[in-house]
């Protein structure tokens, strides 16, 4: 609809999505260190104002080039939100409590790529493409009003007084920390499972197995129920059991689910049910893995939580995009590419946990 309305070609239309990905990933790297310098709330408010203004500009755009530009600006503004929110949680809570709270946040993060296209499809039944951007304006205004009411969580005495350029160069210090890299890589590999599923499941369910499109959303949504269940379990026991123990347990079970998926897929055991059940196991544990891994990463550098969260988010987001692309590049008309990538990424998350985080249960001196 957007393509026809603005008389654009397919490449220009796809670049609107690429511009958003670039802006969202790059914005996190920029604004994370700035939130450590100037505080969480000011950056959050500025980011949401930019997001709302860019969404209005997108809705009013008269050309595809304008849409591409404003989508990039919209993504820059929106990228502040996950970084600031995760840093604010770390400001307020200790390691295990951070994992408990972030597990609730991860339900939204993991559900958004699934739910957003479904909502967008319904909106297009009633409005044209501009209506979607006006809905984003409404959501942005609501988020801005909520942000204004939030307290500042980073006291002036705890802010990083370094020059912004030095703060950006500080990312190299993060990458020299084996524990930080281990936590982030563990989360990123597991998020790749979700993005591979998002990219490959429409073909696998609808084209390969012949599931009617109206039932596809149900099969997709069942996994969201699993994520909600694992979030509930994580939030109830993480303080008592410890986030590192739960992270390793989730990675082990997720890798076993990945191998089960590989077996049922390659041996063609059980048809669609043979795929859906192990997929449910793998994807249900996403929120448990991600919340405990990110809380671990932030605990390594608690006084630079904004920058730590931004680098983790950018790596996570970029890795997921690569996993989605890999499913498309390796497509062969069967479920095998999606299955192999999900199994491989779940296994990689476990291996990272076992080797890079083998000493994670020992106390660490936070920077």
* Residue 174 to residues 170, 241, 262, Cα–Cα distance (Å): 7, 27, 34
Please count the structural domains in the chain: 1
* Residue 312 to residues 219, 240, 296, 331, Cα–Cα distance (Å): 30, 26, 11, 29
Q: Is residue 20 situated within a structural domain?
A: yes
Q: Is residue 360 situated within a structural domain?
A: no
Q: Is residue 59 situated within a structural domain?
A: yes
Q: Is residue 367 situated within a structural domain?
A: no
Residue-level pLDDT, tens digit, the chain, 367 residues: 565 667 666 556 656 767 787 888 888 888 888 888 888 899 999 999 999 999 999 999 888 888 889 999 999 999 999 888 888 988 888 878 888 788 777 777 767 766 776 677 677 778 888 888 999 999 999 999 999 999 998 888 878 766 666 766 778 889 999 999 999 999 999 999 998 998 888 889 888 998 887 677 778 778 888 888 898 898 888 888 889 999 999 999 999 999 999 999 999 888 899 999 999 999 999 989 999 999 999 889 888 888 888 899 889 888 888 888 888 888 888 999 999 999 999 999 999 999 998 876 555 444 4
Q: Is residue 362 situated within a structural domain?
A: no
* Residue 172 to residues 69, 136, 177, Cα–Cα distance (Å): 30, 35, 9
Give the residue among 32, 12, 13, 3 at the shortest CA–CA distance from 316.
Answer: 32
- Cα separation, 76 vs 67, whole angstroms: 14
CATH number of the domain that 316 lies in? 1.20.1250.20
- List CB contacts of 165: < 8 A, sequence separation 6 or more: none
- 């936590």: which residue's tokens? 183
DSSP label at residue 151: P
User: Structural domain of residue 13, as residue ranges?
Assistant: 2-154+161-355
């Amino acid at each position: 609809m957007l393509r026809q309305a603005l008389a654009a070609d397919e490449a220009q239309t796809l670049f609107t999505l690429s511009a958003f990905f670039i802006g969202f990933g790059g914005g996190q790297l920029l604004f994370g260190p700035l939130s450590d310098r100037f505080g969480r709330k000011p950056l959050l408010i500025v980011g949401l104002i930019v997001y709302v203004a860019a969404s209005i500009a997108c809705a009013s755009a008269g050309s595809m080039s304008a849409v591409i530009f404003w989508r990039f600006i919209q993504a820059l503004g929106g990228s502040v939100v996950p970084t600031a929110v995760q840093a604010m949680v770390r400001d307020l809570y200790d390691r295990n409590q951070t994992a408990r709270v972030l597990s609730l946040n991860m339900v939204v993060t993991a559900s958004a790529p699934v739910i957003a296209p479904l909502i967008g499809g319904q909106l297009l039944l009633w409005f044209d493409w501009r209506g979607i951007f006006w809905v984003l304006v409404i959501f942005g205004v609501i988020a801005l009003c909520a942000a204004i009411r939030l307290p500042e969580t980073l006291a002036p005495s705890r802010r990083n007084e370094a020059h912004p350029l030095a703060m950006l160069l500080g990312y190299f210090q993060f990458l020299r920390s084996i524990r930080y890299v281990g936590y982030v890589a563990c989360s990123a590999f597991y998020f790749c499972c979700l993005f591979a599923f998002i990219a490959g499941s429409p073909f696998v369910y609808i084209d390969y197995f012949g599931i009617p499109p109206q039932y596809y959303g149900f099969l997709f949504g069942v996994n969201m129920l699993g994520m909600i269940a694992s979030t509930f379990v994580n939030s109830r026991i993480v303080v008592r059991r410890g986030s590192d123990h739960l992270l390793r347990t989730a990675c082990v079970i997720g890798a076993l689910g990945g191998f089960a998926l590989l077996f049922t897929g390659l041996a063609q055991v059980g048809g669609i049910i043979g795929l859906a059940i192990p997929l449910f196991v793998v994807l249900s544990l996403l929120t448990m893995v991600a919340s405990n891994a990110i809380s671990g990463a932030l605990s390594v550098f608690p006084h630079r939580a904004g920058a730590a969260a931004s680098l983790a988010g950018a790596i996570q987001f970029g890795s997921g995009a690569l996993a989605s692309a890999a499913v498309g590049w390796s497509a062969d008309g069967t479920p095998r590419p999606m299955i192999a990538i999900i199994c491989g990424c779940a296994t990689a998350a476990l291996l990272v946990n076992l080797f890079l985080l083998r000493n994670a249960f020992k106390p660490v001196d936070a920077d």
